[in-house]
Amino acid sequence: MTLARRTVLTRSAATLVAALGLGACGQPGQSDDPTVASAPAAATSSSTGLPDPIPDSPGGPPLPPSTALVDVMARLSDPAVPGNEKITLIERGTPAEAAGLDRFATALRDNGSLPLTFEARDLAWSQSAPGNVLATVVVRTAKPGGEFTYPMEFAQTAGSWQLTRQTADQLLQLGPEPGAPTPSTPPR
């Protein structure tokens, strides 16, 4: 593994951990809640840039089960799931982001954060993006003291839940690997 690749992997994992750590403080202890899921070997605030939530309204559509949102995060962080299979887990995901999704999961594994567990709490409909759901997601890493809480937004597309583009952009570095050559325009 080259030094540049090792740096990228470490930086991607550090970005997630830093983003999650900056989102809010963690809650001590483990949960026996069935909405907590583990990735194999893997209160919203205006300061996060996410819209304020609205509560589930009586007679309105039901909120998704928290396990549906937890599954999105577990699959995104699982190094056993190829990046090209994760594209559909991100709103407007593109094939060009597959390598970045692979780097993200590999970095989590390489820095000792896996397995991760996720818990989705405080689900509410978004006020500004009808049909989107806001959730407070608790992420627990394998490292001591590795618990973070972060507000995330999810969108439903074709019956499946996805991390919104805005949330993905805040949490993940999906661009080309730093130091990788950029495609040049051929001379005309």
Residue 16: pLDDT band (50, 70, 90) is: low
Distance CA 167, CA 48 (A): 9
Residue 172: pLDDT band (50, 70, 90) is: confident
Can you give the pLDDT at residue 122?
97
Query: What would the pLDDT profile of 114-159 be if each residue is shown by its tens digit?
Result: 999 999 999 999 999 999 999 999 999 999 999 999 999 999 999 9
Distance CA 97, CA 90 (A): 10
List, in order of start, the domains of the chain with CATH numbers.
66-172 (3.10.450.50)
109: pLDDT strictly greater than 60 = yes
CB 42 within 8 A of CB 69: no
Q: Which of 168, 134, 161 is closest to 51 using CA atoms?
A: 134
